[in-house]
Amino acid sequence: MKKILVAYFSASGVTKKVAENMAKAAGADLFEITPKQPYTKADLNWMDKQSRSTLEMKDRSCRPAIALDPDVAGYDVIIVGFPVWWYREPSIVDTFMESADFTGKTVVPFCTSGGSGLGDSAANMQSLAPGAKVLDGKRFSPSASADELKKWVMQF
């Protein structure tokens, strides 16, 4: 049986809820991608062209610091969850992807959003972890059932 890690970044709690339910349903471990400097409500105001999140997303080389480096050594599959920001994964997820050795691992993104899909997230994540096999992922609603989450995870 494959060892699975569900890693996630959540700004408002929506992705956290889905990630927790996914890990529980699939018997996977859980890792929160936590920013070293927490985001404030003002930081997350996407309508403010000078907000922290807007500036981070405009600069594709931006790598916000994370509180803990991930240890993915014991896992076969790493599922990475995040809210969609500007049609892709938040920059802090890029930091996560560059903070560990994913060589030989299967990485699968999932997102939560009001309607946007993953965009180029899988391709972006593949370029940041060239030794991994990054698969196309899926968008989940906050109300995704345990059965739906387990069925999706168990296919990897």
Domain that holds residue 129: 4-153
Q: How many domains does the chain have?
A: 1
Quick one: which of 11, 10, 67, 2 has its CA closest to 29? Answer: 2
Helix (H) or strand (E) holding 16: helix 14-26
CATH of the domain at 118: 3.40.50.360
Sign for the CA dihedral angle at 7, 10, 14, 16 comes to positive
Instruction: Give per-residue pLDDT as tens, 100-120.
Output: 999 999 999 999 987 788 999
Instruction: Give per-residue pLDDT as tens, 26-66.
Output: 999 999 999 999 999 988 888 888 888 887 878 888 899 99
Cα 57 to chain centroid distance, Å, stands at: 15
Tokens read off for 56: 């981070």
